[in-house]
Structure 1
Amino acid sequence: MSTGPATLPAISAENDASSLSGTYRLLLETCESLQVEIGRPPMPYGEQSADGSALAARPELLDAAIDGEVARIQAKFGPAPRREVAASRLLHHYLWSVGLLLSGPWYLTRRVPRIRPRDIRIDLATAELALTPGGFTCLPGDPAAGLPGVRVVAHEEALRAELRAAYADHMRPLLTAIGPAIRRGPRALWGMAGDDLVSGVWYLGRMLGQEEQSVRSATTLLPTGIAPFPSGADFRRLQGSSGRTHLTRTRAGCCLYYAIRSAPDSTAEPARACATCPRVCDAERVRRIETE
């Protein structure tokens, strides 16, 4: 069973940090839902933006980011959401985006970027993200092995452990800071984090026409619950109406998207539970896959 890198054009090593530039370019071209500026010069501190470290350390900045999410949801749907709903949606956006910035290069080229919270900048009003790339970790056979800023680990499982650790270390301060606003405990928050790490790999595979391969890769990344993540990837198959089977999984945590409601005069459709939400039965999952 292959869990190696996707079949893609070779991306050559240039020099330390810049040797990820081609990978990020391909990742952004492939994943339309990933909206991140790569390599933009850091914006000055102020009311408009914060890096990931400041977002977790300064309550007033986190409150401003949640306020921005409240305003965006209200502008689209009409009613202002409950604050814990907005906080959950903001966290989901951050988890999924940064998770894919880490897991995408791992899936594509077996390189795990080193993304510290201070390397991510978030616009507090729009939640737009910008990344200042750094070094990365790779396997011994990588052409970048030995370059400045590049760390080498011995084998595939060590690289997967590096990815899990890099993601967990990045998210730990933010989960601690935002937990009270979402009114969720550590297990639920780490469940959300694990869900978004897995779903990013799955999404990238689907965009490349490699769903089966991406599911195998995501399963090797989280074959079961590995601390601090409470659950594994846990993919399963559903029987379709025409004999086909469809891949699905059930999320361990909830992003509260279903709790968003539309005003009667709004043109936006009311939000509904995500397809992998525990609230969605298997019959409804099959119906969505086959008709939407």
Structure 2
Amino acid sequence: MDTVRRPSAVAGLAASVARVAPLQRRTEFRADLPAREGWQRCSALLGDPARFDGWRRLLAGWLRDRFGEAPARTTAGYVMSWYLHVPAYTAALLLHHERRVPLLRPGELAFRLGGDRPHPEGIAVLGAEFYCLPADPAAGCPEATVVADERALAAVLRARYTAHAAKFVHAYAPVAGLGRRMLWAAATDALDNSLWWAGRQSGDEGAGVADAALVLDARHAPLTSASALRLNGDRTWVRRRESCCFSYLLPGEAECVECPRVRHRA
């Protein structure tokens, strides 16, 4: 039995993560859960939403050290965006580099907060199953589910990410004091941004923009918009935000240029 499964272990999802990991400059990306402290599964937070309060208190201390204040709405907004980054960035990296989509189940993703800034600076992809294209060298592995083409792969990514985000919205809305529309807007931002960033960080921004257009080709409710990437007058890519991070509530901080508050006021 072991000799049958050994090829899939070499060619499977863990191998994809290992290939992608050295390409990351700011995020530790791995396929196992280290024994050292600081790592937590997404399912642990979603199963006990009160744990988000501890994360927000840690963030509040960090903000007070830098700004002197830590408005509750700002800590709620930062944690909202940072948590959603974990499944979104995982999906975006593996799509961009490997044309593979993991299941993104909360029990199969974990993250580690940074020591100097309480945001996820390490991500662990713990599952073995994945979706891939017919030409994938691991298409015959028992952990692989083959889909017809890139449009089908994009649809799977969108569905798996939305399923994870729905669990987050259900768990976080009651403890954060943020509306569900805001939370789904943040989920849309996280996915669109991550697809874009995966291309930018690998030196092919155009490919990242194309991935975003492929996955978010239209508004797929409960996500709140199609990809919001566009070329500005300088022929550089920019993105209209769907959600607010509430940084403007911090002393001396203004609203982001692409903040929906600015857009709605114009």
TM-score of the superposed pair, with normalisation by structure 1: 0.76
Match of 1:239, SS? coil
Matched, 1:140 2:134: yes
Inter-partner Cα distance in structure 2 for 1:183 and 1:25: 38
In the alignment, what sits opposite 1:67? 57
Matched, 1:56 2:46: yes
State the one-letter code of the partner of 1:192. A
| Residues 115 and 134 in structure 1, CA contact (< 8 A), matched pair in contact too | no
Per the TM alignment, residue 20 of structure 1 is displaced from its structure 2 partner at its CA by 2.8
Choose from 22, 27, 32 the match for 1:29.
22
Contact 1:50 1:61 (C-alpha < 8 Å) held by counterparts: no
How many pairs does the alignment contain? 253
TM value normalised by structure 2: 0.83
Query: 1:278 pairs with 236, 260, 263, which one?
Result: 260
CA distance in 2 between counterparts of 1:174 and 1:194 reads 13
In structure 1, distance between residues paired with 2:28 and 2:82: 10
Aligned to 1:121: 110
Distance of 1:56 and 1:111 partners within structure 2? 25
Q: For 1:127 and 1:214, locate their aligned partners in 2 and report how far apart those are by CA, in whole Å.
A: 23
Q: How does 1:69-88 map to 2 (within 5 A)?
A: 69-75=59-65, 77-88=66-77
Q: Contact 1:31–1:204 (CA<8 Å) still a contact in 2? A: no
Q: How far apart are residue 122 of structure 1 and its match?
A: 4.3
Sort the Cα spacing of 1:229 and 1:36 in 2 relative to 1 into closer, same or farther, 3 A.
same
Q: Secondary structure at the match of 1:174?
A: helix
Question: Does the Cα contact within 8 Å between 2:218 and 2:226 map onto a contact in 1?
Answer: yes
Structure 2 portions without partners, runs of 5+: 1-5
Indicate the larger mover: 116-125 or 219-228. 116-125
Q: % of aligned pairs identical?
A: 28
Root-mean-square deviation (Å) = 2.7
Aligned residue in 1 for 2:177: 183
Match of residue 8 from structure 2: 15
Query: Shift of the alpha carbon at 1:167?
Result: 0.7
Tell me, yes or no, if the aligned pair for 1:139 and 1:153 is still in contact at 8 Å: yes
State the match for 2:3 in structure 1.
Answer: none
Counting helix residues as a fraction of each chain, which structure ranks higher?
2
Q: Structure 1 residues 236, 60: CA separation in 2 closer, same or farther (over 3 Å shift)?
A: closer
Deviations 1:142-177 (A, max 9, x none): 110121211111222211111011111112122122
Question: In the alignment, which residue of structure 2 is the partner of 1:286?
Answer: none
> Shift of residue 123 of structure 1?
5.1
CA-CA distance at 1:247 after TM superposition:
1.7
What secondary structure is seen at the aligned counterpart in 1 of 2:164? helix
Question: Given the superposition, is the C-alpha separation of residues 201 and 130 from structure 1 closer, same or farther in structure 2, using an over 3 Å criterion?
Answer: closer
Cα offset, 1:43, TM superposition: 7.0
Residues 94-113 of structure 1: pairs in structure 2 closer than 5 A: 94-113=83-102
Query: Whole-Å Cα distance in 2 between the matches of residues 279 and 216 of structure 1?
Result: 27
Task: Structure 1 unaligned segments of length 5 or more: list them.
Answer: 1-12, 262-269, 282-292
Q: Give 1:226-245 correspondences, 5 Å limit.
A: 226-240=220-234, 245=235
In 2, Cα distance between equivalents of 1:275 and 1:204: 22
Q: Secondary structure at the match of 2:260?
A: coil
